[in-house]
Amino acid sequence: MDLRAALAAHRLVAIVRGGDPEAALRTVLAMADEGVELIEVSLSGKDALSVIERAREALGPDRPLGAGTVLTADDARAAQRAGANFAVTPALGEGIGAAHALGLPVLAGVMTPTEILAARTSGAAALKIFPAAQAGGPAYLKALRGPFPHELFVPVGGVDEAATRAYLAAGATAVGVGSPLVGDAADGGSVTALRDRARAFLTVTQKGKP
């Protein structure tokens, strides 16, 4: 898949990390049904590879579906086997190069300018500023865009609806959102409330889109 184009088009990556595999699967499918196009299932969740595999079967072969918390080459290979077609990392590591070699575009976790350069060298398609709130928020992102005007930045960590607006205004290509969007749905919480939150975030991320 063309991750760069997808991030620019959809501007939202939903992050699912759950302790209940059945609930996590329901969460993925409910958000997809609401129109969330980019969904990442973190490998740190319970039976995450099974969730990815079953979600892939339900969504079909072409829908974007990511594996998050890809730390190692083994993680990258397992994610691809399960059906992920993009990978997300929290930091620099061997998972980036391994995923890239397997043909999986990578949203690579970075925080500093040095890490941005290293991620680019490793073949990352886009850059996840993580943890964004602790890194300095929208002001930090705006500062990074000075020396790196052509990079695709995706802030992740503490991104609620208000922060989403601020990051997009500061030049983020997209945002990655976990608990402010998913809530407790991936642990068995309300899917109805999840759907409401998904519609709210879609409204924010699609408003004013170029």
Q: Which residues are catalytic?
A: 40, 128
Cα separation, 105 vs 123, in Å, equals: 8
Tokens 């924010």 sit on residue: 204
- Side by side, which strands form the sheet with 66-68? 153-155, 126-129, 106-110, 86-88, 66-68, 38-42, 12-16, 175-177
Name every residue whose Cβ is closer than 8 Å to that of residue 62 and which is 6 or more positions away in sequence. Answer: none
Q: Is residue 13 within 8 Å of residue 175, measured between CB atoms? A: yes
